[in-house]
Amino acid sequence: MANHRTTGKFWPWVRELIWQEAESLHAADFHKSHEGNITQPTHQELREGGYFYTAKLIVLRDLHRSGADRSNKR
């Protein structure tokens, strides 16, 4: 896996938003097919299931549309 920078102004907080969105997408799908308790998915499961990619598209699209000042976010 690639080394991720932990410093910076854009990608660290955007990456966190992407993982959060991926987990919520997974939870929504999981609740549709299972009535029991939900287990926390691993990052690998989110990537393999396509949730990370979909979440990345959603988060980056929303950031672009909002025109938020990304340099001040953390």
Q: Which tens digit of pLDDT belongs to each residue from 7-29?
A: 788 889 999 999 999 999 998 88
More confident of the two residues 69 and 62: 62
Each residue of 26-51: pLDDT tens digit?
988 887 777 666 678 899 999 999 99
pTM for this structure? Answer: 0.73
* Average pLDDT of span 53-72: 84
CB-count exposure of residue 41 (10 Å: 0-12, 13-18, 19+) = middle
Identify the residue with better confidence: 69 or 17. Answer: 17
The answer for residues whose C-beta is within 8 angstroms of residue 49's C-beta and 6 or more apart is 26, 41
| Half-sphere exposure at residue 56, Cβ-oriented, CA atoms within 13 angstroms | 8
